[in-house]
Amino acid sequence: MTKRSNWWPWLLGAWMAVVIWAAFYYAPAARGFKGESARIVFFHVPQAWVAVLAFCVNLVASIRYLRSRHPLDDARAATAARLGLVFSVLATVTGSVFARVMWGSFWNWDPREVSIVILLLVYAAYFALREAVGDPERRSSLSASYAILAFVTMPFLVFVVPRIYWSLHPDTLINARGSIDMESRMVQTLLGSLVGFTALFFWLYSLDVRLAKIRWARRERQGG
């Protein structure tokens, strides 16, 4: 494990540095977008993706907790949610900035904007619930239950609302991902950024889980 932790973060750091450089210099300015504003997409899209990925990790850990009742599964769920909260805030902010530059206002009620904010609200609610419960076991099982409940209703926002929305409001907004046929260099940069942000998520996640394992082991020794 020590060998791994020696080079892995360095590689990640180098990768992200390359991604940042590529976002500004390698990828061309997108047509149809105002000036260089499209470049934020290389960060915004992966952040939104990680926010959703974190939600999925949280779901899996929550289900595992309800079966195993092991505190580490709860720690994994909480860690994923914490990271998910951070990334959904980042995604909302970057999306908002982009919307301001492109369309002149910070908020446009685009269905995807709304769904990332709802995800943010779910994470915030998750932590509000954890704060409100004193008993550790009950805290774990209640937050796991809430996470599962939230997860089953999420697809409706992400997939169904856009379809309904379009059918009732024909004057749609262009979604922030840009046109489908991107230039190859843009695609490469975007994919590289996606890989980088995903790796970043898993690295932060593993650090936190490792810490939780150490804490738990220490509590077990003290508890006897």
Partner 1 sequence: MRASNWLSESLAVLAKDLRSELRSRVAVNAVGLFALTTLVAVAYQIGPYRIHEDDRPHLLAALLWIILYFAAASGLSRVFVKEEDAHTANTLRLAARPGAVFAGKLLFNLVLLAMLEVLVVPLYCALMGYAIAGVLPFVALLVAGSIALAATATIIAAIISRASGSGTLFAILSVPLVLPVLVFLIQGTRAAAASSEMAAVVPALQAIVSLAGVTLIAATFLFPVVWHD
- Per-residue interface string for the shown chain with partner 1, residues 50-79, x marking contact by CB under 8 A: ----------------x-------------
The three-state (H, E, C) secondary structure of the chain, written as one string: CHHHHHHHHHHHHHHHHHHHHHHHHHCCCCCCCCCCHHHHHHHHHHHHHHHHHHHHHHHHHHHHHHHHCCHHHHHHHHHHHHHHHHHHHHHHHHHHHHHHHHHCCCCCCCHHHHHHHHHHHHHHHHHHHHHCCCCHHHHHHHHHHHHHHHHHHHHHHHHHHHHHHHHHCCCCCCCCCCCCCCCHHHHHHHHHHHHHHHHHHHHHHHHHHHHHHHHHHHHHHHHC
* Total residues binding partner 1 (CB under 8 A): 30
As measured in angstroms, the least distance from the Cβ of 164 to partner 1 is: 5
Q: Is 148 in the site for partner 1 (CB under 8 A)?
A: yes
- Whose Cβ is closer to partner 1: residue 124's or residue 212's? 124
Q: Is 118 in the site for partner 1 (CB under 8 A)?
A: yes
Contact residues for partner 1 (CB under 8 A)?
A: 66, 118, 121-122, 124-125, 128-129, 132-133, 137-138, 141-142, 144-146, 148-150, 152-153, 156-157, 160-161, 163-164, 167-168
